[in-house]
């Protein structure tokens, strides 16, 4: 089911999503800030968790597409 869903998303779209939504704002990349907060156990507010999910979904989908796509062939 997940493979079919990922197969419908062009890899170019995922790369563009990672470079825009996944990194915005760009100085420093927001996802980097949220990951640092997560590792320092400072991710306490619900808005921070929502931010991490929002900026992390494109990266997660790209990683899944690349790994699951290779396993299927």
For residue range 5-60, list pLDDT tens digits in order: 898 999 999 999 999 988 888 788 888 888 999 999 998 999 999 999 999 999 99
Matching residue, tokens 């779209």: 13
Q: Is 37 helix (H, G, I), strand (E, B) or coil?
A: helix
Give the predicted TM-score (pTM) of the model.
0.82
C-alpha distances in Å from residue 1, one per residue of 4, 30, 71: 5, 30, 14
Contacts of 55 (CB under 8 A, 6+ apart): 21, 22, 23, 24, 30, 31, 34
pLDDT of residue 22: 87
The answer to whether the CB of 13 falls within 8 A of the CB of 65 is no
Q: What is the pLDDT of residue 70?
A: 67
């Amino acid at each position: 089911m997940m493979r079919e869903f990922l197969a419908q998303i062009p890899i170019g779209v995922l790369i563009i999503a990672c470079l825009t939504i996944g990194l915005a704002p760009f100085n420093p990349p927001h996802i980097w800030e949220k990951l640092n907060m997560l590792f320092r156990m400072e991710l306490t507010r619900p808005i921070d968790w929502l931010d991490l999910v929002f900026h992390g979904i494109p990266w997660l989908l790209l990683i899944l597409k690349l790994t699951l796509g290779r396993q299927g062939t």
